[in-house]
Amino acid sequence: MSTKKFEVRLNINGELEKIAVSANETLREVLRERLELTGTKAACDDGSCGACTVLINGRPARSCLTLAVEAEGEKITTIEGLAQDNQLHPVQQAFVDHHAIQCGFCSPGMILTGLAAIREQQAELSRNEIREAISGNQCRCTGYAKIVDAIQAASKMKSEE
Amino acid sequence: MKDYKILGKSVARIDTPLKATGDALFTADIKLPRMLVGKVLHSPHAHAIIKNIDISKAEKLPGVRAVVTREDSFDVRWGVFKYTQDHQLIAVDKVRFVGEEVAAVAAEDEETAIKALDLIEVEYEILPAVFEADEAMADGAPLIHEDHPNNVNIHVNIDVGDVEKGFADSDYVREDRFSSSGETYGMLEPYTVIADYKAAGALEIFVPTASPHTKAKALSNLLKIPLNKVIVRRSNVGGALGGRSDIFPLDFITATLSRKAKRPVKASYTREESMTCTRQVHDMIVDVKTGVSKTGEILAQDIKVIMGGGGYSSTGPIAASVPFLVWEETYRLPNVRLNSYRVYTNKPIRGMYRCHGRAFLGGLGMQLDMIAHELGIDPVAIRLKNALQAGEFQATGSKIFGCGLSEAIKNAAEKSKWAKKRGKMAPGKGIGMGANGMMCGFPMGIRGGSSAIIKFNEDGYPTILTGVVDNGQGNYHAMVQICAEVLGLNIPDIHLVAADTEVTTLDMGAYSQAAVFVGGNAVKNAAEDARQQIFEIAAKILDCNADELAIEEGKIFRKNDKNSAIGLHKVIRKGLIDNTPVIGRGSYMPEVSRTREWVSNPKGQQAGTFSFGANVVEVDVDMDTGEVSVTKATGFHDCGFPINLKAVEGQYEGSIASGGLGSSLMEEHLWKNGRMLNPDFLEYKMPLAVDMPEISANVVITDDPKGPFGAKEAGLFGSMNSFQAIGNAVFDATGVWVKEFPITPDKVLKALAEKEKTVK
């Protein structure tokens, strides 16, 4: 592996981080290993499971398929960036209230993906629209039913704002 | 439903806020000071003698701190039972599957560890290999363990009644073969172990495990460390589905790396390694002959099962028995014979799965429908006719206590509008039913029980210590709910320490569907013991008898005078000063037969109680492509009493994904010469949100006489009977039976083509 390092500036959850990275270092590795933001999970390494999802400029992205150098200057939101002042974000709260979390391994990626869909919504999302939106995220525990319930409740709240 | 203050409500779980914020730590998230990276060298061969291992070059690589090989094995074999101890957890004399652990390295970083693996030279002498269970059983097949003729790892024989007479008395007899290929568990969390072997001789290990006390015992044996020095720490478990109960080579290897390097070591398996080298699901061939009366009463059954077990025994006797046990927990079987063979093959090791036995339970449940069809009986009616009732005994002698099976079947039929739909839907659309019982706990000797301790701080708030494990199903919350209900406290008042072998007492963990039933009973008994001590101390302050007192909202008062209330903290403090500190202690051992044994004596009470469920599934079959979609699922679950209703619903919903769509329609490993072709989530397809139907999850409340507050196992009915429900629905939709799982489009089209041929 090349030892050459590139200095990248990443805006992570509103904080500017300057980090020297290798060309082949993924955003997930930087988040988990360098910054110890371990809420972003590693599960498949090939983009098939969605557990490492973060938001880049508000859109869901696989941090395992994103090189850190590609994220230079981008606005990155990880699961740690949602709760404010010890208050869960409404989507996080909906996941808790609706029993959308069992083992919790897919939850960070699932919550961020749900949040992105809600932010882009024109009107309250239908159950099928939610299923489409989260179909890049695998969950082995819940059968997705209560995840759809939670996102639907958060979507309803947002549409009534 | 009984009205409790805390129980039976759908309340948000104590563990989920941390999981929502990303703060919940899973094993891979934990870092210890000076921690090294462990990597494993796997066998490239399915069956080979290891002639030599040369680690000299790897050891010299700068940054390498330890190398582990067979030289580091203490010649102790792991197996769940004494008679199944066949696995040293690192290859010694030979390798038995592609992926078997041969050597390992601990280094300062991952790159160095991987480089070091490349420098290890292993000399193999390749042996002939055998991959399919039926071929492995044939005479002359290569022997995988030399002391097991015909590669038979386990043979379970059960013979109840007079099977031949049962067939002779039958009005209708049929024989069918069902089969299924191997699957993956598919939990998202890759397997990771952190081991820290301390200078004082204690091993601290962080690992996603459903059974920490079992893991500690195995590591104690394998590493020759006293059991109280093996500290298995709970970290969050990123899904288990049955696949986190066993002992894995990575446990032993990481601990040994740490022992040799004298530093903590973290070893994380990749997705491919997790799918290949932890556990997989058995492939299975089931031949079943069933005789019935003309009214559909089962009079005799003769069942032969061959299961591909892979290179080692794992939970062999349990795996070879459970599908049958689930079947006998469901229906009256006056004359029944089982010959179940778990066979060694040169494939990776197979273990117990949440949806274990799809060819068996799917097959027998489909054959019941075939019989009903031949006799002109409704599938609901044939299930009700044979369904066990409370007070009855199962074939091998277990008594049924609370039983809502018939009610579940009737309710599921009614709610799904079965009578209007079955046989009456448009072509390509169909409806099918599955039903089953489920043991709450396996016969596991001293490991079958649980005990709990509840201690109090001087501010009056308690901490529960229990060996119960939560893999995500909500067991921790259930323990806290039970304790809160007994002690008249609120959920946030209670702290829980669980599944940490340094402080918790022996418990089987989240294994064998017994966490709420057994662990919950122990916590309930401990809370009642604490409450009694609290009343005895308070009686002195309030100048009355202990039995005149009640506790609510952290206050103790005379039942006839609420104004007499004193705070719990005052009682706790008086206990401390009087040298009678309140320490609640409770235990529970299910009433099971002490002489029952899986292979040598499968007779007698096998579990403390049983749960039940019925499941109706509707499908839409594309007659051009053969693709089956599930459009609706309606389940009724006799879980005794739902401690937390939404948690119970979530178990059924999850099982419609893994057992229903996954095991029934999509999932199978593909192989070439013992090498798995789809060890990743791109090629191994699991259900996604878009695949899922609307699900109606319901309960039947029976207030189980043995369960804590009437509760028992929750959730496995959907995963264990969806196969038959879907197979039966496919028949209703198409008129063809597909007897090989998963029911993929090619098999549906083939069956449709064959049917067309016969019609012509």
- For residues B698-715, average pLDDT: 95
Minimal CA separation from A85 to chain B, in Å = 12
Are residues A144 and B680, on separate chains, in Cβ contact within 8 Å? no
B544 pLDDT band, cuts 50/70/90, is: very high
Question: What per-residue confidence (pLDDT) applies to B662?
Answer: 96
- For residues A12-28, average pLDDT: 96
Are residues B188 and A103, on separate chains, in Cβ contact within 8 Å? yes
Domains and CATH numbers, chain A: 5-81 (3.10.20.30), 90-159 (1.10.150.120)
Are residues B31 and A49, on separate chains, in Cβ contact within 8 Å? no
Instruction: Tell me whether B33 touches chain A (CB under 8 Å).
Output: no
CA distances from A127 to A133, A147, B2, B118 (A): 10, 10, 33, 50
Residue B209: list chain A partners with CB under 8 A.
none
Residue A44: list chain B partners with CB under 8 A.
271, 680-682
- For residues B163-167, average pLDDT: 98
Question: What per-residue confidence (pLDDT) applies to B443?
Answer: 85
Nearest CA in chain A to B694: A145
The percent of residues in chain B predicted with pLDDT above 70, rounded, is: 100
Are residues B189 and A49, on separate chains, in Cβ contact within 8 Å? no
Q: How far apart are CA B195 and CA B250, in angstroms?
A: 10
Question: What per-residue confidence (pLDDT) applies to B6?
Answer: 92
Question: What per-residue confidence (pLDDT) applies to B533?
Answer: 98
Nearest CA in chain B to A104: B19
Instruction: Tell me whether B555 touches chain A (CB under 8 Å).
Output: no
State pLDDT tens for residues B595-647: 999 999 999 999 999 999 999 999 999 999 999 999 999 999 999 999 999 99
Residue B690: list chain A partners with CB under 8 A.
131-132, 135
Look at residues B668, B564, B159, B640 and name the one whose alpha carbon lies nearest to residue B390.
Answer: B640
The SS3 call for residue A118 is helix
Nearest CA in chain B to A105: B238
Nearest CA in chain A to B30: A38
* Strand ranges of the sheet holding B172-180, from the earlier edge strand across to the other edge: B152-160, B336-344, B298-310, B283-292, B172-180, B740-741
Burial class (CB in 10 A: 0-12, 13-18, 19+), B146: exposed
Closest partner residue to A140 among B26, B239, B656, by Cβ? B239
Instruction: Please check whether residue B706 is in contact with residue B401, taking contact to mean a CB–CB distance below 8 angstroms.
Output: yes
Q: How far apart are CA B232 and CA B249, in angstroms?
A: 16
State pLDDT tens for residues B480-502: 999 999 999 999 999 999 999 99
A2 pLDDT band, cuts 50/70/90, is: low
Any alpha helices (H) in B589-696, and if so which ranges? 645-655
Q: Determine which of A31, A141, A152 to mutate to test the interface with B (most B C-beta atoms within 10 Å).
A: A141
Closest partner residue to A48 among B473, B657, B682, by Cβ? B682
Are residues B12 and A96, on separate chains, in Cβ contact within 8 Å? yes
State pLDDT tens for residues B304-328: 999 999 999 998 899 999 999 999 9
Minimal CA separation from B249 to chain A, in Å = 20
- For residues A101-124, average pLDDT: 98
Q: What is the mean pLDDT of chain A?
A: 96
The SS3 call for residue B745 is helix
- For residues A110-134, average pLDDT: 97
Residue A104: list chain B partners with CB under 8 A.
15-16, 18-20, 24, 236, 238, 472
Instruction: Please check whether residue B89 is in contact with residue B72, taking contact to mean a CB–CB distance below 8 angstroms.
Output: no
One-letter identity of residue B672: K
State pLDDT tens for residues B654-695: 999 999 999 999 999 999 999 999 999 999 999 999 999 999
Question: What per-residue confidence (pLDDT) applies to B715?
Answer: 82
Closest partner residue to B19 among A43, A80, A101, by Cβ? A101
Q: How far apart are CA B361 and CA B657, in angstroms?
A: 17
Residue A96: list chain B partners with CB under 8 A.
12-13, 16-17, 20
Are residues A102 and B688, on separate chains, in Cβ contact within 8 Å? no
Are residues B21 and A88, on separate chains, in Cβ contact within 8 Å? yes
Q: Determine which of A140, A144, A148 to mutate to test the interface with B (most B C-beta atoms within 10 Å).
A: A140
Interior angle at CA B731, CA B718 and CA B652, nearest 5: 10
Q: What is the mean pLDDT of chain B?
A: 96
Question: What per-residue confidence (pLDDT) applies to B307?
Answer: 98
Are residues A140 and B658, on separate chains, in Cβ contact within 8 Å? yes
Residue B129: other Cβ atoms inside 10 A: 21
Nearest CA in chain B to A86: B21
Rounded to 10 deg, the angle between the A145-159 and A107-120 helix axes is 30
Domains and CATH numbers, chain B: 31-127+189-238+244-277 (3.90.1170.50), 280-443+596-759 (3.30.365.10), 444-588 (3.30.365.10)
- On the question of pLDDT at A147 being above 60, the answer is yes
B466 pLDDT band, cuts 50/70/90, is: very high
State pLDDT tens for residues B197-246: 988 889 999 999 999 999 999 999 999 999 999 999 989 999 999 999 99
Instruction: Please check whether residue B80 is in contact with residue B96, taking contact to mean a CB–CB distance below 8 angstroms.
Output: no
**Residue B759 CB partners (closer than 8 Å, separation 6+):** none
Using CB atoms and an 8 Å cut-off, which of residues 693-732 of chain B contact chain A? 694-695, 697
What number of H helices and E strands is found in chain A? 5, 5
Question: What per-residue confidence (pLDDT) applies to B679?
Answer: 96
Are residues B653 and A88, on separate chains, in Cβ contact within 8 Å? no
Are residues A101 and B21, on separate chains, in Cβ contact within 8 Å? no
Question: What per-residue confidence (pLDDT) applies to B200?
Answer: 83
Look at residues B493, B523, B552, B447 and name the one whose alpha carbon lies nearest to residue B711.
Answer: B523
- For residues B90-108, average pLDDT: 98
- For residues A107-125, average pLDDT: 97
Closest partner residue to A145 among B12, B186, B692, by Cβ? B692
One-letter identity of residue B374: E
Size of interface A-B (CB pairs under 8 A): 181
- On the question of pLDDT at B719 being above 70, the answer is yes
Residue B432: other Cβ atoms inside 10 A: 26
CA distances from B150 to B128, B143, B342 (A): 15, 7, 11
Q: How far apart are CA B116 and CA B65, in angstroms?
A: 10
Residue B236: list chain A partners with CB under 8 A.
103-105
Q: How far apart are CA B551 and CA B462, in angstroms?
A: 14
Closest partner residue to B646 among A1, A92, A99, by Cβ? A99
Burial class (CB in 10 A: 0-12, 13-18, 19+), A86: exposed
State pLDDT tens for residues B546-570: 999 999 999 999 999 999 999 999 9
Closest partner residue to B16 among A32, A101, A130, by Cβ? A101
